[in-house]
């Protein structure tokens, strides 16, 4: 009688734990899919902005042909972003593109005719819109990663994550000017 009761209790406990494990694992995998989806938004926004670089370079080349170094750096950084694979490489390449774009736009200040041109103004507006979209997408991505990482630090999710091989994600999109944003950033 006792032996049967022990078997029933153990079977019930195993069933409960197995169901709990499956539920937590399913939730964690859904969160990872959410992170991948958020990253796809970031990647698309980065790609859209990179698509503006050739037009920007052509516009600047017409009025400021002496700025070949800055134009080449922007083009090279764009190509680096296009070749980058995965979030870590993309984030590093994006940093190089940000820097090259800043230098390129800084060069335009030496050319009043270029500064007053409608094509450059339109491209700068498009770049600003692109930057705004990138900011929104990177915020979504960082929030998804932070939520997931916080969740896998708490019992029983940490145990399930460990057993399922679902580790911490340490690739954050740096958000300049936000205190603490470099935590885990590249």
| Residue 181 located in a structural domain | no
| Residue 180 located in a structural domain | no
Q: pLDDT digit string (tens) for 66-83?
A: 889 999 999 999 999 999
The per-residue pLDDT for 29 is 93
Q: Would you list the DSSP string of the chain?
A: -HHHHHHHHHHHHHHHHHHHHHHHHHHHHHHHHHHHHHHHHHHHHHHHHHTTHHHHHHHHHHH-TT-HHHHHHHHHHHHHHHH--HHHHHHHHHHHHHHHHHHHHHHGGG-HHHHT-HHHHHHHHHHHHHHHHHHHHHHHHHHHHHHHHHHTTSTTHHHHHHHHT------B---TTSTTTTTTB-
The per-residue pLDDT for 27 is 92
Q: pLDDT digit string (tens) for 135-158?
A: 999 999 999 999 999 999 999 888
Scan for tokens 């990253």, then name that residue.
39
This prediction has a pTM of 0.81
| Residue 179 located in a structural domain | no
Q: What is the CATH number of the domain that holds 31?
A: 1.20.1440.20
The per-residue pLDDT for 5 is 83
| Residue 183 located in a structural domain | no
Number of domains in the chain: 1
| Residue 75 located in a structural domain | yes
The per-residue pLDDT for 183 is 40
| Residue 184 located in a structural domain | no
| Residue 182 located in a structural domain | no
The per-residue pLDDT for 185 is 39
| Residue 44 located in a structural domain | yes
Instruction: Identify the domain containing residue 125 by its residue range.
Output: 2-164
pLDDT tens, position by position, for the chain (186 residues)?
Answer: 788 888 888 888 888 888 888 998 999 999 999 999 999 999 999 999 999 999 999 999 998 888 899 999 999 999 999 999 989 999 999 999 999 999 999 999 889 888 889 999 999 999 999 999 999 999 999 999 999 999 999 998 888 888 888 888 887 766 554 444 444 433
- How many other CB atoms sit within 10 Å of the CB of residue 161? 21
């Amino acid at each position: 009688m006792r032996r049967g009761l022990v078997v029933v209790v153990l079977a019930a406990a195993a069933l409960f734990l197995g169901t709990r494990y499956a539920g937590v694992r399913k939730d964690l995998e859904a969160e990872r899919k959410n992170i991948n989806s958020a990253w796809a938004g970031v990647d698309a926004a980065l790609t859209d902005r990179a698509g503006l670089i050739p037009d920007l370079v052509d516009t600047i080349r017409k009025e400021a042909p002496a700025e070949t170094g800055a134009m080449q750096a922007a083009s090279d950084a764009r190509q680096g972003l296009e070749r980058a694979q995965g979030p870590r490489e993309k984030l590093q390449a994006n940093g190089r593109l940000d820097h090259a774009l800043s230098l390129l736009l800084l060069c335009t200040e030496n050319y009043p005719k270029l500064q007053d041109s409608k094509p450059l103004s339109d491209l700068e507006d498009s770049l600003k819109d692109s930057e705004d979209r990138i900011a929104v997408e990177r915020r979504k991505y960082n929030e998804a990663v932070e939520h997931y990482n916080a969740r896998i630090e708490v019992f029983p999710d940490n145990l399930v994550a460990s057993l399922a091989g679902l580790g911490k994600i340490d690739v954050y999109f740096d958000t300049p000017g936000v205190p603490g944003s470099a935590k885990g950033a590249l």
